[in-house]
Amino acid sequence: MPIETDLSPTALSSVSEANATISLLQKHSLTGAVQQEIERLINEGELGPGDKLTEAALAERLGVSRGPVREAFRVLEEVGLVQLEKNRGVYVRQIPLEEALEIFDLRAMMEAHVGSTLAANATEAQVSHLRTLVTQMEHAVKVEDEATYYRLNVEFHECMVAYAGNS
């Protein structure tokens, strides 16, 4: 039975956003959520190679204290996205061309394996979902919506890996 409410559509939207935030925090730690957001900002180019990152500015931007940002920096350094320079600060890591080419080659090999695994084992529902994502990506390209294309591209590749039975 639906719940009666006197909330306006704007208030309902705020409640919905709060519920989404609570759900995210139940599944991930605050540090993990901050890490994912900083990672997204780097991957989407809002934070570019060589940019200096400050705890205070990112904490304010993300609406959190500096502690989770500091912890996220440590994790992001371990995965190679940021570089901590003693007495200088934290910077978005610049990847040398040679390393980028190595990463590209490794990724191509892994994706070839994922693709061949899926070709042999994918269900109709999985193939249908991947086709839907490709159609949505094509539309995003036509309307020049880079943010949507990027999000869908990441989702497409994550689905391929998951459908191939990899975490």
Q: Where are the domains of the chain?
A: 9-92, 97-163
The string of pLDDT tens digits covering residues 1-44 is 444 445 455 554 555 565 555 555 544 588 889 999 998 898 88
Q: Cα separations (Å) of 110 from 17, 104, 114, 116, 158?
A: 36, 10, 6, 10, 12
The span from the CA of 1 to the CA of 49, in Å, is: 52
- Answering whether pTM is above 0.85, one says no
Residue 155 has pLDDT above 80, yes or no: yes
Please report the pLDDT score of residue 55 as a whole number.
Answer: 93
C-beta neighbour count of 133 within 10 angstroms = 17
Q: Residue 103 CA to chain centroid, in angstroms?
A: 18
Residue 51 has pLDDT above 90, yes or no: yes
3-state helix, strand, coil in the chain (%, to 5): 70, 5, 25
User: Cα torsion for 102, 77, 65, 16, to the nearest 10°?
Assistant: 30
The string of pLDDT tens digits covering residues 68-127 is 999 999 999 998 899 999 889 999 999 889 988 998 899 899 999 999 999 999 999 999
Which CATH number is correct for 9-92, 1.10.760.10, 3.30.420.10, 3.30.1300.10, 1.10.10.10? 1.10.10.10
CB 97 within 8 A of CB 49: no
